[in-house]
Amino acid sequence: MKKRILLLSALLLLVLVTAGCSTIDNPNYVTAESTGFWSKYIVYPLSWLMTTVAEFFGGSYGLSIIIVTLLIRFAILPLMIKQTKNSKAMQAIQPELAKLKEKYSSKDAKTQQQLQQETMQLFQKNNVNPLAGCFPLLIQMPILIGFYQAIIRTEGISTGGEFLWFDLGAPDPFYILPIVAGLTTFLQQKIMMAGTPPNPQMQMMLYIMPAMILIFAINFPAALALYWVVGNIFMIVQTYFIKPPVMQPMKAKEGAGGAKK
């Protein structure tokens, strides 16, 4: 879980910086004539989908962003469920892993080889794949990054007119979306980290990422802030139901307390 959160945060930060620069200096709008594998086969199909949905809803790119964001999140939901189940299984065997590390604490090559062998046996016994948590992330990230860039590089969004109280092609004048984007980013990470051991790096990212999202959302077109808010809310609900945050440990404590009485 810790590595997954750090990797996801690092990738998101990289996308924010690189895509942000291209938005401000050179939009590089994507079209059917765009060349290059990334633009032609990833970004343009997503841009086309948003444009098609917008036309269906009377030219509303705001509704289009919301709908397509939800469609993509639902499409990658099976990957997220698989990732979360594997993460739970990894957490369940942590006590046994700790015992193995204590048993083979010596740093010589022979002892470390025995540690690796018994660790792999433990993984096989519990049907745990230590790399399974990374595969779904590597699959979904190109989709999410492509959709992110499709929003930036779709010309109709920059001239898509008003949606609710803001203009999609300009920053939110009342800073409502940026604040909500920052708060939902914080809440999403807080829920994901619930039940995991405290870690300085994770705690640092817990505050850095929402702050970065807030700063970018204040300066970027509101269309991007809308995308972040919808995606974050979906992730919060998804994480809550797939991985109940604190309810299970609390019940366990209550049960232990009742037993003592």
- The confidence band for 52, taking pLDDT boundaries of 50, 70 and 90, is very high
- The mean pLDDT value of the chain amounts to 74
> What residue segments make up the domains of the chain, in order of their start?
2-93+128-242, 94-127
Query: CA-based Rg of the chain, rounded to a whole angstrom?
Result: 22
pLDDT at 204: 75
Arithmetic mean of pLDDT, 111-119: 79
| DSSP result, 65-92 | HHHHHHHHHHHTHHHHHHHHHHHHHHHH
User: 130-165 in b/e burial notation, b at 16+ Cβ within 10 A?
Assistant: eeebeebbeebbebbbbbbbbbbbbebbbebeebee
Question: Rounded to whole angstroms, how far apart are CA atoms 35 and 259?
Answer: 67
Question: Rounded to whole angstroms, how far apart are CA atoms 99 and 105?
Answer: 10
Where do we find the tokens 């945060």? 9
Arithmetic mean of pLDDT, 144-162: 78
Q: Are 10 and 137 in contact (CB under 8 A)?
A: no
pLDDT at 221: 81
- The confidence band for 125, taking pLDDT boundaries of 50, 70 and 90, is confident
Arithmetic mean of pLDDT, 81-102: 75
> For 5-30, what is each residue's pLDDT tens digit?
555 555 555 555 444 444 444 457 88
Q: Is the pLDDT of residue 67 over 90?
A: yes
Most confident of 59-63, 115-119, 132-136: 59-63
Q: Is the pLDDT of residue 195 over 90?
A: no
User: 31-40 in b/e burial notation, b at 16+ Cβ within 10 A?
Assistant: eeebeeeebe
